[in-house]
Amino acid sequence: MKTIIGFAAHPDDLEFSCTATMHKFYLQGYRLIYVIVTNGENGFKAQPRLTPAERIAVRKEEQLRVAEMLKVSKVHFLDYRDGFLEYNEQLRAELVALIKLYKPQIIFSFDPANRKYENVNVLHRDHRVLSEAVFDACFAAKNFHMYPGDPHRVTKIYFFASHEPNYFEDITELIEFKLRLLACHQSQFPEFSKVEKYIKEKISTGSDKFKYSEAFRIVEVEQLT
């Protein structure tokens, strides 16, 4: 089965970055899988007096609402602590296991090459850590010896939040759908009008060819030997 895995450090990362493009792939027959690595409990803007467990429950519920709308087949929550993600062997092994389990042709993730440090939100520590772990997991998953299970080679990685994108996907007809998905994260965006303006005026205007687009640095994963 043609499959895509979207790796996110937090609930809402994929909605900001690539859901319109993922929806286009879904319409082409791809199965969509979400992997949400941290619980996002510390990005919670509404009702700050809730306990961590309550905040986690809300953010998971919001992410599952998105998944239902986007027709995501499965959402994996890895339950790491928001803001404290570390690159270690446990994390890489979990990512490799998921790649081997679902055998995706395409992966979406943060761009590990983005180190310009111009935006504290884009270059959030969790984003940086996950980007490198996913990149390394793609190599490890295609190796015969490093981890248990049959090897699997991902064909392409769509890196988002890249400072040097090489591909823009036209999402002009899907911009309102993308915004509806993002608006599900009510705990994160109590004043969603600001987010909508940011999406329409900044994030989605990187290409002169399209009114709205999603930007990626696409890397093909080659098998040389």
83: left (phi over 0), alpha (psi -120 to 50) or beta: left
Strands 74-80 and 167-170 come out as unpaired
How confident is the model at residue 157, as a pLDDT? 98
What interhelical angle do 19-27 and 175-183 show, nearest 10? 120
Query: What domains does the chain contain, in order, with CATH numbers?
Result: 3-220 (3.40.50.10320)
Place of tokens 């995706």: 104
Global pTM value: 0.95
How would you write the pLDDT of the chain (225 residues) with one tens digit per residue?
Answer: 899 999 999 999 999 999 999 999 999 999 999 999 999 999 887 777 899 999 999 999 999 999 999 999 999 999 999 999 999 999 999 999 999 999 999 999 999 999 888 888 888 999 999 999 999 999 999 999 999 999 999 999 999 999 999 999 999 999 999 999 999 999 998 889 999 999 999 999 999 999 999 999 999 998 776
